[in-house]
Each structure stands twice: as structure tokens, then as C-alpha cells.
Amino acid sequence: MGMRTSFLALLVALSAAACGSLAPTASSTAPETTVQTGSPTTDGPVAAPCLEGSNGFFGDGPLGSQSGDAADAATITGLAMTPYEGCEQLVVELAAASGAPATSLGTTHAELIRTNGIVRVHLDPSITGTTLSDVVFDGSLVDRVYVVRDFDDSLFFDVHLSASAVARFSEISSPARLVVDLAPGGTEIRKADHEGFIVVMPLDDTLTPPVSVEGYGRTFEGNVILRARRDGNIVAETYTTSTDYLETWGRFEIGLPTEITGNLELFIGEDSARDGVEQGIRLDVTVEG
């Protein structure tokens, strides 16, 4: 049996961001988005905190972990992206269950998944709530961010890159916040395809079974459809349910039947509740037989 092939699909309703600004977005089922932003405004030269410090940047793989006292953080409350000369800094703010700013974030870790063009930050299991679900940025390095509920009910967030970058991950205190620093560099990335509320990560054109479609979305009641067509005819159709759709993006995994091979068009998404029309992404692939 060949190497397992995974897709990472994401689903999102996005609004345009003004140049140099941060715009909140949310689907019709999302909570009201609370977003904070910042930009250097001093009259003199501005030091770039995203280039300071002794910790180095990484072009791929683990960015390290942070482990401290038991987390009092419970909810993501804000995302702020600040552009500087030569770098961009994303700061994630969190609150305790009381609503006060968090003082400890527990255990977190991050990774740069270069083949998908994202930085993924895994949060402590105590952090299960969020006041925002997705944000669009107009940065030279940061494109957008999605908050996702994982299979174990924990949260992670994906920072989608808009250009090749290297990254590092850290935590700052008083109050406790997470920081992702980005600077230009590294090999070329493959950006995700964004089409309406569906986002599909870069995929190989030729796939080896078993083929698994893995991703996250915000379809109605979390229902996700995978349809395979050959010459316009449906040859396979499977369904699954994602982990969330009301508060965050929900993660899912769905497999293509192993007997389905050849030149295929794959549809990933949902049927419109209004008129039954497919809403999602279509991918032309070849599954080796």
C-alpha cells in the first residue's frame, strides 16, 4: 500500500482588509469578533521587537514550546499584528475565566509547516474558548489567522503566510501573551487556495492511495462532504462531521475509497441549505491505481 496522502482543508468566510489595517471576519454562525491591532506611531526610528532577542528564527519544523505554571488562561480575546521594518509581529491576547487578562498560559508549542505555508500554535488544553474565529490581515508576511478546535477539544490557531518567511515563537508576561515573530526568508511557500468560505491547502496533483482529506471548516452543523467525479459523473461520495462550527473552525478527516483511482475532480464542502448547490473547492487530481 502506498504512502498515505493527507490534505489540509480549511473553510472560512473572509472580508477584505484595508491596507496596513486589521479587519475582523466571521461566518454567520461565528461569535462577534474582537480584534486588536497596533502599529508603530512614534516620530523617530522604531525598534523592531520582532528582530530583537537572542532566540533564532526557523525556516521549517518545531519553533519550540513554552511551559510554565498551570494555566489560568481560558479564552482567546484578541489578535494584533504590527508591521515593522524587516519583520512582522503577531500578539495573541488571552483572558482567564473571570475575564481578567491571563497571567499564565500553561504549556504551548508551535511549528512552521512550510509545505502548507502556515505557522501552527497549539494551546494549553485549559484554553477552550475564543471571542474570535478568523482574522484577515494586509501584511507583507501575515495573510490571515484561523482558530480551530482539534479532535481532543483543545484549540490551535494557524497563521497563514502571504510570502516566504522564517518564524520564532515566544511568550511574554504582565499580562501573559503569545508572540509569533516573522521575518522574510526561507524557501518559497505554496499558498493555500481561497475560494469563498473554503480554503484548501496546497496539494500534489498525483496522489497515492489511501487518500485522506484532512482539514477544518464551518459548514452548517459541521457536515462535510467529499465527492469524487470522473468525466462529470459522481464515482464516490462520503460524509463526516467536524469538531465545531459555532464557536471555532472544526477539524475533520475524511477518506476517499481506495478503489477510486484515475483522473478525478474532488469536491470538498457542503450543499447549500437554500438551493442544494455545492459550495466549496474543486480539485483536479490523479489518484494512482
Tens of pLDDT, residues 106-129: 999 999 999 889 999 999 999 999
- Same domain for 53 and 162? yes
Task: Assess if residue 6 is contained within a domain.
Answer: no
- Same domain for 34 and 70? yes
Last residue within a domain, chosen from 121, 150, 184: 184
Last residue within a domain, chosen from 128, 150, 184: 184
Three-state DSSP class for residue 229 = strand
133 pLDDT band, cuts 50/70/90, is very high
Q: What is the identity of the amino acid at 15?
A: S
Query: Quick one: pLDDT at residue 100?
Result: 97
190: cell is 505554496
Task: Assess if residue 4 is contained within a domain.
Answer: no
The whole domain housing 264 covers 193-287
- Same domain for 168 and 246? no
- Same domain for 174 and 202? no
The pLDDT of 144-171, averaged and rounded, is 95
Nearest to 9 by CA among 91, 116, 105, 99: 116
- Same domain for 90 and 169? yes
* Cβ neighbour number for residue 288 with a 10 Å cutoff: 12
Q: What is the CATH number of the domain that holds 213?
A: 2.60.40
What is the chain's percent helix, strand, coil content, to nearest 5? Answer: 5, 50, 45
- Same domain for 141 and 224? no
Query: Quick one: pLDDT at residue 214?
Result: 84
Q: What is the identity of the amino acid at 192?
A: A
> Residue 42 and residue 20: Cα distance in Å, rounded?
16
Last residue within a domain, chosen from 153, 184, 215: 184
Query: Quick one: pLDDT at residue 18?
Result: 30
CA distances from residue 209 to 5, 127, 225, 229, 289 in whole angstroms, order as listed: 7, 36, 19, 16, 8
252: cell is 475533520
The pLDDT of 156-165, averaged and rounded, is 95
CA distances from residue 187 to 74, 114, 120 in whole angstroms, order as listed: 36, 8, 18
The dihedral built from the CA positions of residue 129, 130, 133 and 134, taken in this order, carries a sign that is negative
- Same domain for 27 and 83? yes
180-208 tens-digit pLDDT? 999 999 999 988 776 656 666 667 889 99
Task: Assess if residue 224 is contained within a domain.
Answer: yes
Q: What is the identity of the amino acid at 66?
A: Q
Task: Assess if residue 9 is contained within a domain.
Answer: no
Total structural domains within the chain: 2
The pLDDT of 48-61, averaged and rounded, is 92
